[in-house]
């Protein structure tokens, strides 16, 4: 399971305030804590104020790269911000994200010239988030075709079938899990990811729901998740789930995580 640390996101009040005050020390501490917890990528989102997003994203990149060499995941719907961000990353970053909206596809395609990194692609289009698994699969097929034509290999693509809150519709969890299964069956080399905590939005004891859902998602074929790596119980569920589902030979990753104090 590839872990993308979600904490440096301007929509979180402490992060938004740190960006406004240009408190680099605070941002660096957030980065260091996530790296110590074992995150594989650090998601950077500066999208709170669209008119300042490019400058704020560059500031985040600069400060985070002062304290870690863990690769970044540039999280933005602004192609100009991403374009500048890509130029300033010391290591090849992941792009988060492209989707099936026609105008956004055209804007993002120019970013992909000679780009050989990983890309998160969302299963939504001009009609919004699909209501069915079949619609998600159709959007996936469209996005894969477009990305392949730009030279992006299936191994570099992370499809996000979009987790929606269980509090809105009790079927949303099962729909997501089935979408992951069908995407993996149709495109075996493609990887899947999600913003995990969306499943529990609006419900009490959200952490309990997240912990159970991550194990179900791993069983369905989820390869990655954007989550809080400092949530020790959730990370414990990741290692436990992989061991129980025969995705951890001799339970070595579980044992290593235990010895490192991660579970």
DSSP states along 115-177: --S-EEEES-BTTBS-SSHHHHHHHHHHHHHHHHHTT--GGGEEEE-----TTT-TTHHHHHH
148, two tokens: 């392949």
User: What is the model's pLDDT at position 64?
Assistant: 98
Residue 248: strand, helix, or coil: coil
Give me the phi and psi of 35, to 5 degrees please: -65, -45
As a whole number of angstroms, the distance between CA 128 and CA 239 comes to 34
Q: What is the pairing mode between strands 41-45 and 2-9? A: parallel
Residue pair 218/207 in contact (Cβ under 8 Å)? The answer is no
User: What is the model's pLDDT at position 115?
Assistant: 84
Task: Look at phi and psi of residue 32 and say left if phi exceeds 0, alpha if psi is from -120 to 50, else beta.
Answer: alpha
What is the pTM (predicted TM-score) of this model?
Answer: 0.95
* Continuous segment of H or E residues that includes residue 5: strand 2-9
The ranges of the chain annotated as CATH 3.20.20.20 are: 92-230
Tell me the average confidence (pLDDT) per consecutive run of 10 residues in the chain, 263 residues long: 97 97 98 96 93 96 98 94 94 94 86 87 96 96 95 96 97 97 98 97 97 98 98 97 97 96 90
User: What is the model's pLDDT at position 39?
Assistant: 96
Q: Give me the architecture of the 92-230 domain, per CATH.
A: Alpha-Beta Barrel (3.20)
User: What is the model's pLDDT at position 160?
Assistant: 98
């Amino acid at each position: 399971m590839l872990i993308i640390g979600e904490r440096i996101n301007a929509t979180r009040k402490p992060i938004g305030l740190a960006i406004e005050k240009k408190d680099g020390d605070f941002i660096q501490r957030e980065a260091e804590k996530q790296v110590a917890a074992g995150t594989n990528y650090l998601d950077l989102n500066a999208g709170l104020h669209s008119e300042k997003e490019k400058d704020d994203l560059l500031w985040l990149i600069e400060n985070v790269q002062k304290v870690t060499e863990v690769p970044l995941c540039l999280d933005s719907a602004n192609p100009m911000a991403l374009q500048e961000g890509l130029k300033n990353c010391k290591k090849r970053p992941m792009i988060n994200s492209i989707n099936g909206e026609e105008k956004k596809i055209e804007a993002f395609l120019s970013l992909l010239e000679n780009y050989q990194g990983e890309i998160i692609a969302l299963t939504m289009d001009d009609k919004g988030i699909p209501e069915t698994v079949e619609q998600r699969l159709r959007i996936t097929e469209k996005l894969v075709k477009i990305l392949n034509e730009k030279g992006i290999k299936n191994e570099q693509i992370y499809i996000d079938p979009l987790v929606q809150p269980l509090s809105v519709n009790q079927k949303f969890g099962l729909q997501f899990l089935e979408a992951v299964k069908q995407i993996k069956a149709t495109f075996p080399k493609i990887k899947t990811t999600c913003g995990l905590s969306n499943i529990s939005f609006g419900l009490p004891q959200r952490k309990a729901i997240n912990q159970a859902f991550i194990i179900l998602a791993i069983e369905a074929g989820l390869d990655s998740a954007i989550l809080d790596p400092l949530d020790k119980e959730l990370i414990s569920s990741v290692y436990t789930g992989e061991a129980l589902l025969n995705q951890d030979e001799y339970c070595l990753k579980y044992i290593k995580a235990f010895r490192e104090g991660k579970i």
